[in-house]
Structure 1
Amino acid sequence: MIDSELADLVKDIAARHGMTISAYMRALLTGAIDAETNNSFAPIVLRKALIYSKLRRAGVALLPLSLLDNCNPEEAGEQVRLEGRKLGALLRSIGVSLEEALDIILEDSRIAIREKDKIVLLPPTRPSEEAIRSMVEGIAESYGAKVSKEEAGITLIMLEEARGHSS
């Protein structure tokens, strides 16, 4: 059962798009079913889409990893880390937690292992992985997370320390 306040909001949204409530709900449910059919949880897909939309308006763009493979990690390293700090500040300002930010950035990544209270960044094997790693470190630093370099090229990002800073 949908309460009247929610129904009024949906009615207003549908009208803003020039749609009937029925047409708007059909489009919304069709999108949700499409997401679920593709093994994605629809509410998370919508949340990510909202975050991506806000980031695009701030000048952030998705780019192919192959482009990063053609950059020189030594030259780009500190600049990428600085951009990560800026991106982290932006994400924090729009209400995205560090864990959510890193889940989005590292989604389908082969450079990280997610543990309960930390993220383990594995040693990079390609320039794109080095760039992503530097960006992730910058993002984590902007949230106040402890980032520590361990032996064998492993980096740990402690999530517990950042939880107090991101609120």
Structure 2
Amino acid sequence: MIHSVHDTPFEQKVMWQFNLSGLPPPYETGRCAIIEACIGKAMTDCRHHIKTKVNESLKADARAKDIASLAAQIIGRSRIKPTAALYMRLANICWAITQLPGKFSEDAFWVKFDAILEGQRAKYTEPGHLYTAVKKLYDDDVKKFGEPDLVSYRLSTLTVKRSG
């Protein structure tokens, strides 16, 4: 199906706004399905990689149980920087995997996880409440698996420049 720019899916509009390299211009919407398929495959591969590494870290004989070691294994040699926000997100995934062990296929797990996140956002509507809830999951993870190894895996800080 060919779309005009005005009825193009939201994701494609966002990709154009970010000027992603190699993205066809808005008037060539026929090629976007190919790009969406490539992005979808990459996202599936990433989700599988994350879930595999988290499951490995939850085993009794796992060498790297703390959140910093887990993040380092997931990140590998990519350009992603380990941040406190990443650690909290990984703690949330660890919590979900322990709450939903083996009950769902790979795809169904992520659908359920997304539903959990939507539920958290609906439940915690006041500023800071969602952060507090996610931070609690992180703190619980630290109690269970130990303090992050910040000596071997330095935490990165990101700064945001405001324009204007």
- TM-score, scaled to structure 2: 0.33
